[in-house]
Amino acid sequence: MTILKGQDVLSVAQFDKALIGDVFGRARQMRQMVETEGRSDLLKPFVLALIFYEPSTRTASSFIAAMQRLGGGVIPITGGVQFSSVSKGETLGDTMRVLEQYADVIVMRHPEKGAAEQAAAAATVPVINAGDGVGEHPTQALLDLFTIEEELGRIDGLNVAMIGDLRFGRTVHSLTRLLSLYDVNLRFVSPEILRLPLTLMNGVRDAGLNVRECHDVAEVIASADVLYVTRVQKERFSDLAQYDEVKNYYRITPDLMAQAQEKMIVMHPLPRVGEIEPTIDSDPRAAYFRQVRNGMFIRMSLLASVLGATV
Ligand code: NCD
């Protein structure tokens, strides 16, 4: 029994340190299970419906893998909503009310901020937000934080630099909120038009964190314990000329990495579109593929908790 049983997962605001510790502990048990047994029957009685109104590779497949590794069933609606009744004009509420007739939990991605809350209000089964526009991406933030703790052994005291599209990047928004619970130094590196939204900036300042903004990765590289790199979110720009101006603003190169600490990590929620040179992949500090794997363990942990099954 955990406090997430039967609950929606919509925002990182639902998580405090104790609950995060609980989710992480269970994620470690899941990793242990996967490494020894490969899969279990823990969620055998349950079915997950996954509906994605926006493209995804990792988030969709990691939720599917998570459910399958725990023996559960999956209804994947990821081929684009053109194949579902949404294209016939069905409301979000009706889609939820239908899916819950088949499934015990619904995972949804949607282009509109706030859509996850709307879906959760209509559904009687738990809804997990897998990204709502420029809003939140709570399960990504949990796996990001988990990766930091796994890789560096702690969270408090770290220098975390977030780089790229801080304005539209929902993973940045959720991770920034989650990190406000800890004693970290935050550096935000972006072009002027992609600065972190003011409400989020005020939030971290109010939480008492040491925060600084700048435009150049070179200013933060030497002191960073975590370099959290993100893609410029092309799909969120109404003016593509503006996107073109900032799309190649920064690039993590071997030269830049030569200035970084020996023990630090480079993270990226992926997909990357040129922000990190592929030659960095063989650097042991490149943590982004390990981060992907952690995503499966975190989602296994969350699904087990929400469905009230424990290991
Ligand atoms: C991110 C997303 O969808 O917000 N991808 C992911 O879930 N790993 C990041 C992105 O699309 O840039």
Reply yes or no on whether 17 is catalytic.
no
**Single pTM value for the model:** 0.95
Q: Confidence band (pLDDT; 50, 70, 90) for 311?
A: low
Domains and CATH numbers, the chain: 12-136+295-306 (3.40.50.1370), 138-292 (3.40.50.1370)
Average pLDDT over residues 248-262: 95
Catalytic annotation, pick one of 26, 109, 170, 231: 109
The alpha carbon of 171 and the centre of ligand 1 are apart by a number of angstroms equal to: 7
Q: Could you give the CA distance from residue 170 to residue 172 in angstroms, rounded to a whole number?
A: 5
Portion of the chain with pLDDT greater than 70, in percent = 96
137-162, pLDDT tens digit by residue? 999 999 999 999 999 999 999 999 99
Q: Could you give the CA distance from residue 174 to residue 55 in angstroms, rounded to a whole number?
A: 19
Ligand 1 atom having least distance to the Cα of 54: 3
Reply yes or no on whether 231 is catalytic.
no
Number of continuous H segments (helices) and E segments (strands) in the chain? 10, 9
Asked if residue 296 lies in contact with residue 70, where contact means CB atoms within 8 angstroms, the answer is: no
Contacts of 205 (CB under 8 A, 6+ apart): 211
Portion of the chain with pLDDT greater than 90, in percent = 87
Indicate if the pLDDT at residue 209 is higher than 70: yes
Determine the pLDDT at residue 2: 60
| Cis before 284 (ω within 30) | no
Indicate if the pLDDT at residue 51 is higher than 70: yes
Cα–Cα distances in angstroms (integers) from residue 83 to residues 37, 80, 118, 131, 256, in the given order: 36, 6, 22, 20, 45
52-92, pLDDT tens digit by residue? 998 888 999 999 999 999 999 999 998 666 556 666 678 89
Reply yes or no on whether 88 is catalytic.
yes
Average pLDDT, the chain: 94
Determine the pLDDT at residue 84: 62
* Joined tokens for residue 187: 């550096």
Q: Confidence band (pLDDT; 50, 70, 90) for 1?
A: very low
Could you tell me if the CB of 110 is within 6 A of ligand 1? no
